[in-house]
Each structure stands twice: as C-alpha cells, then as structure tokens.
Copies of this chain bind each other. A is one copy, B any other.
Amino acid sequence: MNLPFKRDKKIAILGATGLVGLQLIKVLERRNFPVSELRLFASQDSIGKPLLFHKRLMNIQPVDFSNIDIAFFATDGTSSKKYYPAAKEAGCVVIDKSSAFRMDPLVPLVIPEINGHEIAKHRGIIASPNCTTSLLALPLFPLHTAFQIKRIVVATYQAASGGGKKQLQKLLQDAKESTLDLFPHDSALTPNGYVEEEVKMKEEAQKIMRATFALSATCVRVPVIRAHSLAINVEFHLPFTLDKVYEILHQSPGITVYEDRVNNRFATPLFASEKEEVFCGRLRCDASHANTLEMWVVGDQLLKGAALNAVQIAEYL
C-alpha cells in the first residue's frame, strides 16, 4: 500500500505488553510503518521493561503523549477512557481497539477495506472494532453490497488468546492436564440472555456496514491458541448464485477463499494463525431457505481482528 504521507510519525502504544500490544509492534515492523519515534506504555509495574522494535531495545516508559502523532490504545475500555483526555490534550490521534468509544456517533468505527473513507472525519479518535465483528464484517460487506443482508445467524469458535494472557495460560495448563474445555463467551450477560460480545457483533457490524439487518450470535471460546472461526448463516434480500459469491469474494481485499473440496480441507485456526488475510470457505447454498448462504470464516483475531486493522487505520491517516 502506498502511504499517503512522507513524514515519519511519532507513535505511542498504550498497553504495549499485552497480546495486542505485542502484535502491534510486530505489525508496525513487518509493514515497515514509517516510525521516527516509538514510545511504549504499559502498567506501572512494567516501567523499565525492555521490548524489541526493529531489533532495538525499547523500554516501557511512563505515559506521556507530548509530541506524539498517533497513539494506539491496546487496552480495555476503562483504560481507554482514562487516558483519552491526556492524549487529546496532547493533540495526538488515538486509534482505540477497546470498546469504549466504538458506538459513539461522533467516533468513526473503521475497517479500512469497508469504510476507510470515514477516517478523514475523525475528531481525534478512531475506533477499531471487536475482533469477532471484524472477521464477520470483512467478508459479508461485499456480499451485502451485492445482495443486501436480511438476517445473520452466527456461531463463533473463539481462540483462548482472545481472552488475554491469563486465558492463554489456562489453556496451556488444560492441555497438559487433558482437561481441555470450551465455554460460552465470558463477557457480561445482558438482560435478554445475550452476552455483550454477541450484542457488539450486531451493533458494530451495522455501524461499520451502514446497514440494518437482523443478527443473532452465539459466542463460544474453544481451546485453540489463536485465530477465531465463525459459522455464518446469512439470508439476503436478493437472490444470488454461488458463482457470483465466489467472484465477489475473490475480488475483495483482505479475503482469501480457501477450499479444497476434494480433500475436504478448509482453513482452520492453526492455518490462519499469524496470517493477515481472513479466510472463507465451505460456501454452500442453504437448501432449506431461500436466498441463504452458509459460510465458514477464519482469521487471526490478533491481526485483522485487532493489531493489523489498527495499523491499517494509521496507514490511512
């Protein structure tokens, strides 16, 4: 991608020692993002800890946004809300991966392949969507443009690393003790029985895609280390053919159709791990219902679901 600016940027990462923070550093390296200065922030007890950027040692510093151009917030909603005023005061642009500002009507919620044009409207902060929402919206948006989504039923298979370092450690322990398990998503329950993750998928996807459709989700964590999978049943207003669906997906940026029907092999979490693309497969007409498509989607939730999307937003800036 050609960067729209020549000047190198002063970058900060808040939450640099977390799973997403560490990925952000890697993605900035791999995509050769033009960085003139990188400041890494984390919790108080991490100050002084070293991390590597382009093979140089960088220490975690006390939070200070002065002269920073772009601050990535790789934190939870509470921390994002706490530090945003200081970042705004310092005049830097925040790219926030937390849920704190996503549904704020004044904050663009962006997947660059879908609504990159909205980045220009920012007032100091741009939100990056929930990881599961990103993996849902990226392949569905071009299909929505063609056939108009009416209703989505989705079940997720989310990796342990989506729950942070603690959950990842628990998975490794479970693997050792042969107590591998899966469980419904651990975000807070809302009054109607859906967990917040399931509500976010609907609200955020609709905001990003500027569309209104029905969506019911069941979010489940599975004992894999990395990459989320989704079983999506999507009904369109307009009729479609599978050939046309393949054609659209083949032309859409960020998506790779991965199907080996002969050997019954499709993208799996292990296959998608550390890859930037989102993989689609198992495309089927739902024979039991008109204008309805079944598809299987897998993507690295730490990359397109988080760090990569944030860096892509920064590249647009």
Query: Which residues of A line the B interface, CB within 8 A?
Result: 151, 153, 155, 157, 171-172, 175-176, 178-184, 186, 188-189, 192-195, 202, 214-216, 218, 220, 222-225, 229, 231, 233, 261, 264, 266, 268-271, 282-289, 292, 294, 296
Minimum Cβ distance to chain B for residue A112 (Å): 28
Can you name 8 extra interface pairs (CB under 8 A) apart from A155-B218, A193-B261?
A: A151-B289, A153-B233, A181-B224, A181-B270, A182-B222, A183-B266, A184-B296, A189-B264
Knowing A175-B175, A181-B269, A183-B268 are in contact, say whether A220-B157 is a contact too (CB < 8 A).
yes
Least CB separation from A202: chain B residue:
B288
Contact at A231–B218, with CB atoms within 8 Å? yes
B189 contacts A261, C-beta separation under 8 Å: yes
Q: A157-B157, A233-B153, A296-B218 given as contacts; is B268 within 8 A of A181 (CB)?
A: yes
Cα A282 to Cα B216 with chains together (Å): 13
Q: Give the number of times this chain occurs in the complex, counting copies.
A: 2
9 cross-chain CB contacts under 8 A: A155-B231, A175-B175, A181-B224, A182-B224, A182-B268, A182-B269, A192-B287, A193-B284, A193-B294
Contact A214 B153 (CB under 8 A): no
Q: Which residues of B contact A151 (CB under 8 A)?
A: 288-289
Measured CB to CB, the nearest residue on chain B to A295 is B218
- Contact yes or no, A180 B180, CB < 8 A: yes
Q: CB-CB < 8 A to A233: which residues of B?
A: 153, 216, 218, 233
Contacts of A287 in B (CB 8 A): 192, 216
* Given contact pairs A233-B153, A264-B189, A224 touches B180 in the complex (Cβ within 8 A): yes
Pairwise interchain contact B225-A180, C-beta atoms closer than 8 A: yes
Cα distance A193–B284 in the bound complex, in angstroms: 6
User: Is the Cβ of A193 less than 8 Å from the Cβ of B282?
Assistant: yes
> Judging by beta carbons under 8 Å apart, are B216 and A266 in contact?
no
A175-B180, A268-B183 given as contacts; is B224 within 8 A of A193 (CB)? no
Set of chain B residues within 8 Å of A224, measured between Cβ atoms: 180-182, 222-223
Q: Which of B157, B171, B193 contacts A222 (CB 8 A)?
A: B157
**Complex interface: chain B residues within 8 A of A283 (CB):** 193
Shortest distance between the CB of A72 and any CB in chain B (Å): 28
Which residues on B sit within 8 Å (CB–CB) of A282?
Answer: 184, 193, 218
Minimum Cβ distance to chain B for residue A228 (Å) = 11
Q: Nearest chain-B residue to A266 (Cβ)? A: B184
User: Among the interface residues A225, A285, A289, which one has the most CB atoms of the partner chain B within 10 A?
Assistant: A289
**Contact across chains for B193 and A292 when beta carbons are under 8 A apart:** no
Contacts of A271 in B (CB 8 A): 181
Q: Which residue of the partner chain B has the closest CB to A261?
A: B189
List residues of chain B with CB within 8 A of the CB of A184.
Answer: 264, 266, 282, 296
B-chain residues with CB within 8 Å of residue A220 when the two chains form the complex: 157, 229, 231
What chain B residues lie within 8 Å of A192 (beta carbons)? Answer: 284-285, 287
